[in-house]
Amino acid sequence: MRGDQERIEAAGAELAFVGSSRPAVAAEFKREKGLEARLLVDPELVAYRAAGLKRSVRSSLGLKSVKHAWRAFREGHRQESVKGDPWQQGGVFVLAPGGEGGAGQVLYAYRSAEAGDHPPNEAWLAVLEGAAPAPA
């Protein structure tokens, strides 16, 4: 996602991550990874439940998760340590801001079935870019 920062900004959007750890751990993670995007924390998993995201041991340790981990390893990604809830799966959402006092609209939602399950970036980028206002 970070590699698509220019496309995200060109669409008038902001990239944000939600983590399940505590603020101090998230700040360390952001510093270690050199993240420039907004990083929010939800150690009580309220937003995860509201978004309908899966949380289970099986989704983190199942055969498909091992397959995803092997693919990530081959691509050069390394997990140094677990930060946050290891059983909580994530997702990708494209949200449009709400009107005055109103809730925003969900334009795209992808809920990961297991650890390492991510949608292709082009899927959510196409939605994001299609929702961008035309340049003036």
Residue 136: is its pLDDT beyond 50?
Answer: no
Q: Residue 118's pLDDT band (boundaries 50, 70, 90)?
A: confident
CA gap 112, 94 in Å, rounded: 15
Higher-confidence residue: 128 or 135?
A: 128
Query: What is the count of structural domains for the chain?
Result: 1
pLDDT at residue 53, rounded to an integer: 93
Q: Residue 125's pLDDT band (boundaries 50, 70, 90)?
A: very high
CA gap 74, 110 in Å, rounded: 24
pLDDT digits (tens, 9 = 90+) for 18-35: 888 899 888 888 888 788
Tell me the residue range of the domain where 88 lies.
2-131
Examine residue 44 and state whether it is found in any structural domain, yes or no: yes
Examine residue 136 and state whether it is found in any structural domain, yes or no: no
Residue 88: is its pLDDT beyond 60?
Answer: yes
Cα separation values, 81 from 3, 85, 86, 108, Å: 23, 12, 10, 30
Nearest Cα to 84, choosing from 38, 24, 35, 33? 24
CA gap 9, 128 in Å, rounded: 10
Q: Residue 11's pLDDT band (boundaries 50, 70, 90)?
A: confident
Q: Residue 66's pLDDT band (boundaries 50, 70, 90)?
A: low
Examine residue 53 and state whether it is found in any structural domain, yes or no: yes
Nearest Cα to 125, choosing from 6, 15, 8, 3? 8
